[in-house]
Amino acid sequence: MADAVVIGAGISGAATAYQLAKDGLDVVLLDRFSPAAMASGWTLAGVRQSGRHAAELPLARAAVAIWETLAEELEGETHYRRSGNLRVARDDAEIAIIRGVVQDQASAGLDITLLPDNRAVRGVAPALSERALLASYCTSDGSADPVATVQSFVRAAERRGATCRFGERALVIETVAGRARAVVTDKSRIATRRVVIAAGIFGNELLKSFGVHVPLQVPVVTVLRSAPGARVLEPVISTATATCTGRQEHDGRWRVTNGAEAWRGTLIEEKGERGLPRPRVNPTAASMVDVVTRFGALVPAFREAAIEQSWAGLLDLAPDALPVLDAVPGCEGAFLAMGFSGHGFCLGPVTGKILSDFVQDRPVDLPLEPFALSRFQTSASATAPATLHG
Ligand SMILES: Cc1cc2nc3c(=O)[nH]c(=O)nc-3n(C[C@H](O)[C@H](O)[C@H](O)COP(=O)(O)OP(=O)(O)OC[C@H]3O[C@@H](n4cnc5c(N)ncnc54)[C@H](O)[C@@H]3O)c2cc1C
């Protein structure tokens, strides 16, 4: 019998498996595809506190504190760079948003400042065009390499005894008298009394048998990634209304997105590395043009980049754009991390700690009330604004 089974090897599940293995539990980490095959690989991978909902800020700050030494801890690569985040305003409406963000978050103690005009913005990021009228600037924000980070979590978990099974899909959590007793997959049955569901957009499939449903929307974001190039940009650049975001990776590659759009396409399953299935969503031509138009207007150098890869990434968008971090009603021993709404990559290291504390029945030293599943039973939760990725 496994002490715990973690379903999903995105950053949330991989970080949870690592924490559990580190604490000496015999843990099985499952993924129907491979590590970072979905949002945790599709992501822009900004590691950002600025622009967060007040409820999420304590988690983001705790996460950023972990990111600083994460590569060392995992004895693996993360390519984490604390190179700052500029959230730019391009018109009066965006100016009002950015001024509000700076005021609120500075009074909450975040190291965020207002760059009040184009000159000040270009003083920090000379590659920006005149379209950037002002910006918020948070120097302790940054970014990381998502695939390298998730792989480092997985390897560190394995070194501590975790068993990883990829290309294996969890079908149902079996219970006896309302308590988890096994995870049944398409290949085996794993006996366990503790289960973590960190399955991203597929979380509801595993909750169905308990009559539980997280009211998610699944919009899509298009991503373009270039060949390596000369570095002209240090901070991550986003906009007040999150209609485009971009950065240069550690080797100078551009990684750039547009905003979230309704998804009408299909999730294709193709063959990936080591014969494992790999999910893919193809972006539309219009969305790729949109990325180039929006980000190119802000950072003209991006227009010269040689694009090597494009994909579309799906978001698990909750009505209030906040995640669910909670126990699963009707299944004692099962816990849930989903609905990260386009900003769960940064939180990954802290999500892993929270879920590992849930599993081990330990108190969590962070305010988690806003992430309770029960909030969807009240009408107040359904009033939320859109996601802010990046
Ligand atoms: C384009 C884009 C840009 C983003 N930008 C940012 C950003 O800048 N900063 C930020 O913080 N966040 C960002 N995000 C959001 C962030 O990437 C996600 O919130 C985060 O990666 C979610 O991680 P996860 O582990 O919860 O889910 P996922 O990474 O989706 O992992 C879920 C895993 O579960 C597996 N799975 C599902 N069902 C089953 C099953 N039945 N059995 C076994 N395995 C299963 C899947 O294969 C998958 O690997 C962005 C997301 C996208 C798409």
Number of helices (H), then strands (E), belonging to the chain: the values are 9, 21
**Mean pLDDT value of segment 341-345:** 97
Distance (angstroms) between ligand 1 centre and the Cα of 8 equals 9
Q: Is 315 in the pocket of ligand 1 (CB under 6 A)?
A: yes
Kindly state the helix (H) or strand (E) to which residue 255 belongs, with its residue range. Answer: strand 254-258
Q: Is 13 in the pocket of ligand 1 (CB under 6 A)?
A: yes
Report which protein residue has its CA nearest ligand 1's atom 8: 390
Q: Give, for ligand 1, the residue of 345, 371, 388 to mutate: max count of ligand atoms closer than 8 Å to Cβ.
A: 345
Q: What is the model's pLDDT at position 273?
A: 87
CA 264 to chain centre: 22
Q: What is the model's pLDDT at position 265?
A: 87
Residue 388: band (very low, low, confident or very high) from pLDDT cuts 50, 70, 90: low
pTM confidence score: 0.97
Q: Is 42 in the pocket of ligand 1 (CB under 6 A)?
A: yes
Render pLDDT for 203-229 as a digit per residue (tens, 0 to 9).
999 999 999 999 999 999 999 999 999
Q: Is 37 in the pocket of ligand 1 (CB under 6 A)?
A: yes
Residue 389 predicted with pLDDT over 90: no
Q: Give, for ligand 1, the residue of 5, 16, 30, 31 to mutate: max count of ligand atoms closer than 8 Å to Cβ.
A: 31
Render pLDDT for 120-154 as a digit per residue (tens, 0 to 9).
999 999 999 999 999 999 999 999 999 999 999 99
Percent of the chain with pLDDT over 90: 96
Sign of CA pseudo-dihedral 110, 115, 121, 123: negative
Residue 278 CB contacts under 8 Å (≥ 6 apart), including other chains: 33, 34, 37, 269, 270, 271, 272
CB 209 within 8 A of CB 18: no
Q: Is 45 in the pocket of ligand 1 (CB under 6 A)?
A: yes
Q: Is 20 in the pocket of ligand 1 (CB under 6 A)?
A: no
Please give the full DSSP string across 66-110, using - where no structure is assigned.
HHHHHHHHHTS----B---EEEEE-SHHHHHHHHHHHHHHHHTT-
Q: What is the model's pLDDT at position 232?
A: 98
Residue 322, amino acid: L
Q: Distances in Å between the alpha carbon of 145 and those of 11, 69, 205, 313, 381? A: 11, 15, 29, 16, 33
State the helix-helix crossing angle for 348-359 and 146-159, rounded to 10 degrees: 30
Average pLDDT, the chain: 96
Residue 380 predicted with pLDDT over 50: no
Residue 265 CB contacts under 8 Å (≥ 6 apart), including other chains: 220, 281, 282, 284, 312
**Hey, is 166 helix, strand or coil?**
strand
Residue 262 CB contacts under 8 Å (≥ 6 apart), including other chains: 219, 220
Q: How far apart are CA 306 and CA 285, in angstroms?
A: 16
